[in-house]
Amino acid sequence: MPKKPKTNPETGGPQRFGHVAIAGRPNAGKSTLLNALLGTKLAIVSNKPQTTRSSIMGVATIPGGQIVFFDTPGIHRGDTLINRRMMQSVRAAIEGKDLLLYVADATTLPDAAVVPESEKEALDALRKAREEHRVPTFLVLNKVDQIDDKRLLLPRLEAFAALLPFDELFPISARKGDGVDALRSAILARLPVGEPRFEADYLTDMPERNIAAEVIREQILRLTNEEVPHSVAVVVEKWEVKPNVVHVMASIVVERPGQKPILVGAGGAMIKRIGTDARKEMESLLGHKIFLELFVKVKPKWRENESFLNELGWQNKGEVS
Which pLDDT tens digit goes with each residue over 266-321?
Answer: 999 999 999 999 999 999 888 889 999 999 999 888 877 777 777 766 443 333 22
Predicted confidence (pLDDT) at residue 4 exceeds the cutoff of 50: no
Better pLDDT: 226 or 102: 102
pTM: 0.76
Domain 208-312, what architecture? 2-Layer Sandwich (3.30)
Contacts 24+ apart (CB under 8 A), 187-191: 187/20, 187/37, 187/67, 187/99, 187/101, 187/138, 188/16, 188/62, 188/64, 188/65, 188/67, 189/16, 190/18, 190/98, 190/99, 190/136, 191/16, 191/17, 191/18, 191/20, 191/65, 191/67, 191/98, 191/99
Domain 16-190, what architecture? 3-Layer(aba) Sandwich (3.40)
The pLDDT, as a whole number, for residue 138 is 95
The pLDDT, as a whole number, for residue 214 is 86
The Cα 46–Cα 53 span in angstroms is 12
The Cα 54–Cα 56 span in angstroms is 6
pLDDT in tens, 38-87: 998 876 665 544 444 456 889 999 999 999 998 887 775 555 555 565 55
The pLDDT, as a whole number, for residue 49 is 44
Q: Do domains 16-190 and 208-312 have the same CATH topology?
A: no
pLDDT in tens, 121-142: 778 777 777 777 788 899 999 9
Q: Which of 23, 46, 21 is nearest to 230 (CA)?
A: 46
Span 240-257, average pLDDT:
92
- Domain boundaries along the sequence of the chain: 16-190, 208-312
Q: Which of 260, 241, 240, 262 is nearest to 251 (CA)?
A: 260
pLDDT in tens, 175-196: 999 999 999 999 999 999 999 9
Task: Kindly report the average pLDDT of the chain as a whole number.
Answer: 82
